[in-house]
Chains A and B, each alone.
Chain A
């Protein structure tokens, strides 16, 4: 079983819709969870992090964490074409800060 699993997509939504991205992880000891956005050929950029169960909102983005189900999600409201990218879920394991394991990423396309 892979450390971090994501549906690779592609996920296609119309402009203005809600995009829902999902991620599961295998290690119950995982502590912090991150969502990164990566444009083709570019390095990842952080969107949000979450480490407590429940929802965390930041603008159009909402991260949801359920540690019991080992599940983390990202909702993008009012999706824009500029949101089209690959979204990477990352999980921190162990005591070393920044030591992240990434999922394969979900490719999102927002069409006008």
Chain B
């Protein structure tokens, strides 16, 4: 199956520093990736849609200047949490949508099936 890798899996940083999280699709190309945040016992909250070669689309209430997203290639999207504060501590998960040309011919192209990374747990001290 398709594999999405996130790095780092865990990161601890001091308040005020910036942290970069990488999301890579290892065996497929993804023009679209998504970033989620999940607090303990809460749902995955969609933060933004990352589009290769263009600006990310942020969900309402998500600060684009605080959560910088770059999708410079078809296999890599990065999320940078700038000037992190303790309230930014969370589990950040990315997902990737395989580009249509690489979908299995038996798949329904409209399902929008996603492949998730393993998640990155950020702790801000």
Contact = CB atoms under 8 A, between A and B. Distances in A.
Interface in A80-112: 88, 92, 96-105
A70 interface: no
Chain B, interface residues (CB within 8 Å), range: 20 to 34
A29 B75 CA distance: 31
Contact of A105 (B32, B43, B111, B117): B43
Contact of B43 (A45, A96, A97, A104): A104
Contacts of B119: 41-43
B118 A97 contact: no
Contacts of B93: 43-44
Q: Helix, strand, loop or mixed for chain B's interface?
A: strand
A105 B49 CA distance: 22
A91 to B, nearest CB: 11
Contacts of A102: 36, 43-46
Interface string B108-125: 001111101111010000
- Binding site of A, secondary structure by majority: helix, strand, loop or mixed? loop
Given A99-B46, A101-B46, A46 B113 contact: yes
B10 to A, nearest CB: 10
B95 interface: yes
B95 A98 contact: yes
Interface of B: 32, 34, 36, 41-46, 49, 57, 91, 93, 95, 97, 110-114, 116-119, 121
